[in-house]
Structures are given as C-alpha cells and as structure tokens.
Amino acid sequence: MADAVTLAEPLGMIGLRGDHGDERVRAAVVGLTGTAFPERLRIEGTSQRGVAWMSPDELLIFVPRSEVALAVDRLATDLAGLHHLVTDVSDMRVCVRIEGPDAREVLAKLSPADLHPDVFGPGLFRRSRLGQLAAAFWLEGEGARVICFRSVADYAVALLRQSAADGAVGHF
Amino acid sequence: MSTRLHRGGRLIDRSRPLRFSFDGHPYQGYEGDTLASALLANGQMLVGRSFKYHRPRGFVASGHEEPNGLVNLGAGDRVEPNHRATVTPLKDGMTALSQNRFPSLDIDVGVLNDALGRFLPAGFYYKTFMWPRAFWKHVYEPVIRKSAGLGRVPQGRDPDTYEHFNVHVDVLIAGGGVAGLSAAWAAAQSGQRVLLMEQSPCWGGRAVIDEPEIDGTPASHWVDRTVRALRSMPNVRLRLNAQVSGVFDHGYVLAAEQLEGAGPRQRLWRIRAGKVIAANGAIERPLAFAGNDVPGVMLASAMRDYLVNWGVSIGDRVVVVTNNDDAYRTALAIHRAGLIVPAIVDARPRPDGELVRQARDLGIRIEAGRGIAKVTGRRRVSGVKLCALSGEGSPIEEIFCDAVAMSGGWTPSVHLWSHCGGGLSWDDDRAMFLPDPKRPPRNHNGSPIVLPAGSVVGELRTAAVIGSGARAGAAAVGADAPEILAHDAEEGPFLPVWIMPQGAKTALKRKMWLDFQNDVKVSDVELAAREGFQSVEHAKRYTTLGMATDQGKLSNINGLAVLSNALHVPIPQVGTTTFRPPYTPLTLGTIGGVAKEHLFQPVRRTAIHEWHQRHGATWEPVGLWRRPFAYIRPGEHVHAAMNREVLAVRNGVGLLDASTLGKIVVKGPDAGRFLDMMYTNVMSSLPVGKCRYGLMCTENGFLSDDGVVIRLSEDSWLCHTTTGGADRIHAHMEDWLQTEWHDWKVYVANLTEQWAQIAVAGPRARDVLSKLGGMDLSREALPFMAFAEGKLGGFDARVHRISFSGELSFEVAVPANQGLALWEALMQAGTEWGITPYGTEAMHVLRAEKGYIMIGEETDGTVIPQDLNLGWAVSKKKPDFLGKRAQERSHMAGGHRWKLVGLEPLNRSVLPEGAYVLGHGENANGQRNAEGRVTSTYFSATLDRGIAMALIENGPERMGQVVQVSNKGGQPIEARIVDPVLYDKAGDKLNG
C-alpha cells in the first residue's frame, strides 16, 4: 500500500526576516507560537502552530489561518523600531501531506538532502528540492509535510504520488 | 558446438525451464541463465556481426565487458538495442534479435567488406569520402550509417517507469567480490553507514567460481556467512544488480540498479559518499593472434564461468592459450568436466606453478614458449596452428579443436578511481596501470574520495585481495584492519604478450583483433602510428579503438601496448585514454527518472489558470508559467481572437491575468538607497501611495528588467518585475545585498505568488470596478500612477492606476486564493460593457501600438536604456547606480548606436519577425550589411495594418526615411521610419 499524498487545508503562514540573535525577535516569535525558538534546520511546533528556520535571518511562522492578520499586527507592534520584515505569505505556498510508512523514501527519491533517520528525525526542517521543485519538508503526524509554491501545487502532488506509487526502496 | 552438460551449473535451476527466442528461433533455458549462457547451451555461438567488416562473432566474455554479444531485446515499445546478452537474466518469453546483420545473421552481404578489408584501413572514411564534397551529406553518410548502425531504435513511447533515489553514506563499496565483502566487514565494525553494491545478481565475484579457501572454509561458504553477518548489521545496506556507474566531485556517485517485478524498471542511485571503495575487480585480457575473433575463441575465465555457473561447455576440444597460471584453472575445470584439452599453449618458456604442475600431472600436454600463429575456421573454430612465440608465425603443427580459451593476464578496472581524476602509474612487473596512491581523487578537504582495493590495485591472489579489501575498509573509517586468512594455489610469474607471435608480419597483424566490436586490428593501430598519430587520444579517435559500447574494456591496454611498440616509446609514456563515466551505458530513462510525460517539467499555474483553460485559452510558455496567448471562441482563428481582444480593450474593457509579474518587497532603513542603486532612476523620492516606472541594468549597463515600483510605506517598496525576471531579479538583489552591501539594512522578499493580479483595461474599466464598489477610484482620488488599498467588493485589494495598454487601466492585486473569485466577479460586473479576457498577444499588440518596450523583445542583453529613448528614466543626478559607469563608456555614449524607432511598412503588411534593416554593401564574409533589426512586429487591429518597432542606426534622426527590410525568400520590403508611439501620444486615454 503506497503512501497517500493529498493537498492539505490552507495553512496560515507568516514570513519573518530579522536578526535571530535579537532578544526582541526571539521573544516576539516565542510569544506568538508558544514554542521554543527554532535552531538551524529545525521546526518547533507543527504546521498548525509553530515556527521553522528558513535561513540565518528568516523564519516561517505557522498559525491558524484565521489568526494571521492578528499575528502580523502583533509582530509589527512587538518589533516596532527594529529592522525586520513581516509578510503574510499564506497564499504563496501550499502544503502537501504524505501519510504512510514510506514517506521518508518518497522524499528521498526526489530530494538530495540526507534523510537518514539519524539525521532527519522529528523536528528537522529542510529547505531543499523535490525533483525540479523548490520545496521544504519535515516529519509530522503519520508521515511528512511538504510546502512548495502554489503555482506548482498540481505538479508537486502528481510527482509525490508517482514516487509513492513506485513503491518502497527498502533502504532506510 | 557449445552445449549444456548434464551436470553442474551453480546458478541454474534445471527444474524451472524458460522459453525464449533468438532471431525468431524458439529456444529453452533455465531459471538462473543469462541470455548468453542459454544461447550457448543451445549451440548458438554466432550472435552478431562486427561493425565494419561484418565478421561473424560469438561471445568472448561472460560479463559487462562483452563486445560482441549485443542484442535488440524485447518487442514493440519495449525494444532496447545494444543489450549485453552476457548480463541479461533470462526471462520466460524473452525475445531477442541479433544486430548489425543484413539480411540475416547467417547470410550477411556486408561481409563483402571483410574481403575488401585491405582497402578499408584505419581512417578509411576520412580519406575516401572527401570528394565530391556534396556527396558526403547525400550519398556517403546515409549509406555508411545504414550499414554501420548497431541495433534499432524503439518506435513507441517507453511504457516503463524509472526513478531516482538519494542517499548519504559514510562508505560506499563498489563490488561484492571478496575484496568488497571484506572491505564492508572491516568498515561496518565502526557503526558508520556502509552501502555495498554489486553489479551482478550474486555475491562473491570470481572467488565463488574458483573456490579458494578463506578463513578455513571454501570461498562460497565464507561469502554466504559474511553476507549474512553484514545483513544483520543495522548500519549496513547491501544491493545486488546495482552497478556503481560513475564517481564525481566531492564523492557524488551514480549507481544504476536493475529492478524486477512491478514498479520502476531501473533506479538511479544518487549517492553522496564520504569514501568510495573501488573493489570492482579486474578484466581478463585477450591475446592478439590471427583469427582471435573467430566464434569459439573466448576469454579463459569466461569459459570457466559458463562451465561452473551454468553447466555450459563451449566446445569438446578446447586449446588453452596463455601467458599466466590462472588460465590453467580453465584447463583443469574443462578436464574435470570430462572434456578434452588437447594442449595448453603457454607463451612462457618455462611455466612452473602449482596449477601448471597439476595440469602436467593429469597428463595435459603443455606447449611452452609457443604461440598461436593462426586460428582456422571461419564461422567456428576448427583448429589452431602453433608457432614459436618469438618467431614470425611459421606453423609448427595444427591442432584440431572447436574452442580456444585465451588469457593475456588481467587488467585492473581502474575506472572508478580515474573518473574523478585519480592518477595511474605503470607497474612494469605486473604490466598493469595501477592507482597511484599518491594521486587519489580528492574531495573539498583534500582527502581522498576513492580507496582502491583488491584486483583494482593489481592483486590477483585471494589472500592479497582479501587483505587489501580489509585494509581499505578499515582505512575508510579510520580503524585497524581485521586479519582474514586465505589460501589458493601458488602461481608462477606472468609474461606480458602484446602480439602473438612477436615477429608477426602484416598479413597476420591484419587478422589480429584488438577491438572486436569496432573491428580495430593490430595493423590499424600501427598504421595510425606510421601516419603520425602519437597521442593515444588521437590514435583512439582515428582508429576507433575503444570507442565501441564497451569503451575498450577489453581492447585498451593491448591497443596502447601496440601503439607504444610502434612509436618506440614505453607504455607509461603513451598513457591511457581518459576513463569517463558511466562504467557501462545508462538508458536515457534511468537518467530522466520520474521526469517523463506529465512530470517532465513543472508547469506554473496562476490562481485563474483553470478558468482560462475552460474558456478556450491557447497557451504561451513564459518561463515555466503558461499564460493565455489568446482566448479562442468556437470556430475562431487565433488571429481573429487576438484582433477581437485588442479592439475590445480599445473600445470597451478587457481583463488580463497579470499574476505572473514578479512582486518583490524591499524594506528597511537603507531600502531607498538600495533601490536607487538597483534602478537607473530615483526611487527613494517616490511618495508613499505612488507608482513609478523603473529600469534595471546590469553592471555592464545593459537593460536587464523593467517594471513599476510602488512605495508602500516610509521604509518599504514593492518592485514589480517582468514575469520571467522575478526569480532572477530577486537573486540579483540578494546577491548585491549579501556580497557588496552586507552592512546595509535591507530585507527583500519575493512575494510573487502571494498575490493574484488582474489588469482591467479600457475606456470602461472604471465603470466595471465601480460596480464592485467599496473604493473611490475616481480620477481625483486615484490619479494615474497612484495606488490605493482597500476593500473592493469584499476583496482585500490593492488597486494600481498603471497601464501597459495605453488605455484607462487598473491593476488589482488580491491574495492569490481570492484571485479566481475576483476574476469571476469582474467578468460578471463587466457583462454590460462586453468585458473581454485578453491574452499575451493582444497585450503585446496594445503595448506596441503605444510604443512601450518589452524586455526580451526590444532588449537582448546588448541594449542600453538610451538605445530605447529611455534616457528620461536614467538619472543624471544620482552619484551612482548599477550600469552608470558602463553607460558612460565611449561606445555606449557615442553615436552610431542602433536606436528604437517605429516602422511603417509601405505595403501595410506585417514585417517578418527578426528581419534585418538592410544597409549598403557587403561585409568581409560577403554578407549584406545590416543597419538595424526589427524587434517587434504585429498586425494592429486598431490601425488595420502592420506595425513594427526596430532598432536602427541613428534611427530617431532619420524620421520619414524609407528603409529596406529583409524578407527571407522574397524581395526586401520597404518601410518608413516613424515615431514608435502610434496611439494616443498625448496620453489622454491613459490619464482618463
């Protein structure tokens, strides 16, 4: 039985660029998500409420979609006077769910990242490639979550479905 | 005849017969056979014809190095040419066809070339088909191609799927023989990630054929035991049928796995390895004697493989010819199988190893210091004529036999070591090119990527092979090597023999094959040397030595030894040709992986894509996007649709999906300063709430992108880019911010996909938007080049008064998830004014009528803003911006530039795209001089005639002049130079 690949319900997503070492930035993020502040290559919390490390000065914050506008305002208030950039990016990307025992191999067919369980465990977040697509992914629920740009949502689902349908490699 | 023996065959299951066909003849084999072993079991020795002379050819090897046994495998859409039958597992119902024969394998008219062989030497094609020149394309090449081609191309789409798989390992081991297994065992003790790959379906390599003693037990037991132990370790993975194909920079490795059953047919492993242990063995060398290509002459080790693995004998009477002890194992195996070895012809004057003594004790006749002068027989060996090795080849006697087992020693497979630059050194004693441990391929840290082991480092005895493997495995993980004891027969020294006999004259050399598939003989290589080819790389290409599908696995070492001899320089000075990946050919399907058919390439779709599709859109690819080119109504021609769309915008109102335009937010205390560097004009002075058209240049001054910049707040701007420029310009900004101005406080974010954007253009545009309500879009509240944010009919909108059509125009941006709903609401609201969706072609015509430039049409990377009369958008006041200095250079600032003008064809036609504006006279190449070129050309529905834009030398100073425009295949077209702005020059409509 191949892993199931489906498009997830739209997520609430906020992009934040700022100094990760700044206490105000850390406090604003943690105050919003109720999680720890993510270290390099990590995600804290989940796609419903959490925060992922995107680059040395960029985060992606997940909140319920209904709370996005409020959260953007709150960040703007908390970070007033500090050099930063907050953007509502909820419509920019889609989330794809891979549910099943072989999610790791479905991803490894497409991404050059090291997905060995010793390295890619729960809480790890990789911005990488899936075939020709830019994508990020992490383990969540009974499988994995992928985010990619909305314009390639159909392609991403078809690509992941084909990789799932092609079956397990039996490597990990 | 080759045949199946009643006993033996460690790999076959005689209770499971399989049916297959070859050239239409039905045959039977067994589970475990290869196609080659099954054909040989059925007496089918003749399997192909050689490339050039169409000589009859039989199997010469048992593995991937096989040059002759290539077949067209499969039927229908699954035909695959050039399949090596020696490594093709037999399947029930398999169909195979021989290649390179016409009309049939038995009767081949191309064999005429063989009779004329004296007249078809190396370089024949280069020398002969030179004249008359036109004949090459129309006569010679088609005929040569038809007679030469190997295999047939499949006619249909490949129905199979393929996939890639990425893994990271600490140690990758290529080769599952005893060297690879001992390396895996040694490396695995560290707990690091170990991946062991073996190209064949079984472990153990040659050791399980010859059964030396390892760790006190027969080799096959040790192999089974070791494989079981490795399988039980959590850090070790083993793969059969997986060939390590190439080693690349930084330890990136490709391997191809052949799969069975449902699912993909092949899997390409993309491996990032800390260390690669090359334990991929050695390949036996053929000997170069006259008639060494006659079917029935085979490598000694291959003959032993067929006997031991598949219970197949190649002949009843086998003469063994050798320069080393290993071939005696073949003689002994044949003797033990109850077949006859009439003689072992040993080139060495006094062979005396343990195996030699065993053969002698069994009463096998050994002819020392002898060689083969000639093989008799044409389509099958009928005998050999013996001679003195050191002589010219005068026959001493003829021995009747039906097969010859030859061994010229072994050549280490140094491919994986060499792919990424590992150096080789020549070992004179063993007559081998070996990995030079001082010159390994290195990674980014300067440490070796590849550790060679086993026969790859020239070891041929079991104990040494195992020891080398264990040491390499331990070295890869920084541990001590375990000791594994092994024992096999003592062997005497080997004698390098490059041609046999050593004093052979040309007549014999013309029948001594080096490269079997490409028909390269000793005489060809010597001719190349005489004709001045000194570099081995040149000699290879001139003679085609080593250029066949086997890439010289059998031929290279013998060929370069012959070349060295002919040039009178030592072998190491001649050197080898370059070892390039892949080790054996990969199918295109494997390389492409999952990316085929609907997954071939991602297509980017806007939020409104489905609507366009449902309403007759024909598509234009722009980057990876698909944009509607025009919306075609039933029965409508595309040109008619385009004209209808243009007129709808000019007279009523149209809708364009502009979502693909790049949208980059730039924010921070230094954002204004940053944008003043990025754009040629001033952006820092733009008031909040206003829009400004801007140009971006590269540092070389050439126009790179354009678009409207809006100021969102005191410290943030939104930059619109072209559709194709979004990612590139975002990267361009980050590049300058991260490398040059890293201390500037600026953040950028590419939000292109966050918003859907719809252009509402035409005299009725305001009426349509007003109907949605919620925002004051009057001329006073929202003048041209302003924007406003608000709720437009319930949508979260940002409405820009900008125009790319010359009409009253609004571009409305909403979050992408609201895009489709907004589009549908606008279509609904505009019904009473005949609102018309328009595509990119109408957009092009509208902007060209208005004289607006388009990046990629009017620009091509050599055009500066001043060429396009856009000097007004290039700041004179700013101290610097990207491209400023370059634009001041003499040839940019001086006269004689091709500059933008309009062209009005006198006959009202549409000028050809890309046409040249003809100048006077001809250039040095006899070509007509050009003084300009057409950059955009359309039929204007508004003006009911062809319109065009062109870059013409000093164009703006030549208004009213008539120029000649090239017209391929016809007379030049006359056109008048005019102002490019043909529509509403005063801008009343746009400001309306």
Between B167, B264, B625, which is nearest A171 by CB? Answer: B167
Share of chain B above pLDDT 90, in %: 89
Rounded (5°) CA angle A56-A61-A62: 150
Distance CA B934, CA B936 (A): 6
**CATH node for B497-569:** 1.10.10.1100
Residue B667 has pLDDT above 80, yes or no: yes
The mean pLDDT value of chain B amounts to 94
**How high is the pLDDT of residue B148?**
59
Distance CA B68, CA B591 (A): 25
**CATH node for B662-753:** 3.30.70.1400
Which CATH class for the B3-115 domain?
Answer: alpha beta
Q: Could you tell me which chain A residue has the CA closest to the CA of B670?
A: A83
* Tens digits of residue pLDDT in A70-94: 999 999 999 999 999 999 999 999 9
Residues of B in contact with A113 (CB under 8 A): 166
Residues of B in contact with A114 (CB under 8 A): 168, 272
* C-beta atoms of A150 and B601 within 8 A: no
Strand pairing class (B217-218; B213-214): antiparallel
Distance CA B10, CA B209 (A): 9
Chain A: nearest CA to B603, how far in angstroms? 6
* C-beta atoms of A93 and B753 within 8 A: yes
* Tens digits of residue pLDDT in B330-361: 999 999 999 999 999 999 999 999 999 999 99
Residues of A in contact with B270 (CB under 8 A): 112
Domain B162-283+412-487 has CATH 3.50.50.60: yes
Between B163, B601, B815, which is nearest A91 by CB? Answer: B815
* C-beta atoms of B754 and A92 within 8 A: yes
- A16, β-bridge pairs: A59, A86
Judged by a CB distance cut-off of 8 A, whether residue A129 touches chain B is no
Judged by a CB distance cut-off of 8 A, whether residue A10 touches chain B is yes
Between B166, B272, B816, which is nearest A91 by CB? Answer: B816
* C-beta atoms of B595 and A131 within 8 A: yes
**How high is the pLDDT of residue B126?**
66
* C-beta atoms of B753 and A90 within 8 A: no
* C-beta atoms of A162 and B161 within 8 A: yes
Please report the ipTM that was assigned to this predicted complex.
0.97
Judged by a CB distance cut-off of 8 A, whether residue A127 touches chain B is no
Chain A: nearest CA to B702, how far in angstroms? 29
Residues of B in contact with A93 (CB under 8 A): 753
Residues of A in contact with B594 (CB under 8 A): 109-110, 131, 159, 162-163, 166
* Tens digits of residue pLDDT in B228-237: 999 999 999 9
Which residue would you say has higher pLDDT here, B991 or B659? B659
Q: Report DSSP letters for B824-879, one per residue.
A: HHHHHHTGGGT-EE--HHHHHHHHHHTT---TTTT-SSS--GGGGT-GGGS-SS-S
Q: pLDDT grade, residue B116 (50/70/90)? A: low
Average of per-residue pLDDT across B38-47: 96
Which two three-digit tokens encode residue B379? 């389509």
Judged by a CB distance cut-off of 8 A, whether residue A152 touches chain B is yes
Chain A: nearest CA to B716, how far in angstroms? 9
Residues of B in contact with A150 (CB under 8 A): 607, 753, 816
Domain B286-408 has CATH 3.50.50.60: yes
Q: Which one, of A89, A94, A91, lies nearest residue A130 by Cα?
A: A94
* C-beta atoms of B603 and A155 within 8 A: yes
Distance CA B68, CA B64 (A): 11
Average of per-residue pLDDT across B180-208: 97
Which two three-digit tokens encode residue B443? 């990674």
**How high is the pLDDT of residue B155?**
81
Q: Report DSSP letters for A104-148, one per residue.
A: HHHHHTT--S---TTTS-TTBEEEEEETTEEEEEEEETTEEEEEE
Q: Give how far Cα B795 sits from Cα of A75, B710, B756, B822, B832, Å.
A: 24, 20, 12, 7, 22
Could you tell me the residue ranges of all domains in chain B? 3-115, 162-283+412-487, 286-408, 497-569, 637-658+757-847, 662-753, 895-992
Between B237, B747, B816, which is nearest A85 by CB? Answer: B747
Residues of B in contact with A108 (CB under 8 A): 165-167
Domain B637-658+757-847 has CATH 3.30.1360.120: yes
* Tens digits of residue pLDDT in B256-279: 999 998 899 999 999 999 999 999
The reported pTM is: 0.94
- B757, β-bridge pairs: B813
* C-beta atoms of A159 and B599 within 8 A: yes
Judged by a CB distance cut-off of 8 A, whether residue A14 touches chain B is no
Residues of B in contact with A83 (CB under 8 A): 668-669, 745, 747
* C-beta atoms of A109 and B166 within 8 A: yes
Residues of B in contact with A158 (CB under 8 A): 598-599
> Which domains, from first to last, does chain A contain?
12-88 (3.30.70.1520), 92-165 (3.30.1360.120)
Which residue stretches of chain A have pLDDT < 50? none
Between A83, A108, A109, which is nearest B669 by CB? Answer: A83
What does the radius of gyration of chain A's CA atoms come to, in whole angstroms? 16
Between B166, B668, B755, which is nearest A108 by CB? Answer: B166
The answer to whether B497-569 and B895-992 have equal CATH topology is no
* C-beta atoms of A149 and B606 within 8 A: no
Residue B146 has pLDDT above 80, yes or no: no
Judged by a CB distance cut-off of 8 A, whether residue A119 touches chain B is yes
Between A57, A92, A132, which is nearest B751 by CB? Answer: A92
CA B583 to chain centroid: 14
Distance CA B480, CA A15 (A): 51
Q: Could you tell me which chain B residue has the CA closest to the CA of A149?
A: B753
* Tens digits of residue pLDDT in B284-332: 999 999 999 999 999 999 999 999 999 999 999 999 999 999 999 999 9
- Interface with A, mutate which of B622, B753, B818 (most A CBs under 10 A): B753
Judged by a CB distance cut-off of 8 A, whether residue A114 touches chain B is yes
Identity of the residue numbered A100 = G
B899: exposed, middle or buried (C-beta count within 10 Å: 0-12, 13-18, 19+)?
buried
Which CATH class for the B895-992 domain?
Answer: mainly beta
* C-beta atoms of A152 and B272 within 8 A: no
Average of per-residue pLDDT across B838-847: 98
Q: pLDDT grade, residue B121 (50/70/90)? A: confident
Share of chain B above pLDDT 70, in %: 96
Judged by a CB distance cut-off of 8 A, whether residue A112 touches chain B is yes
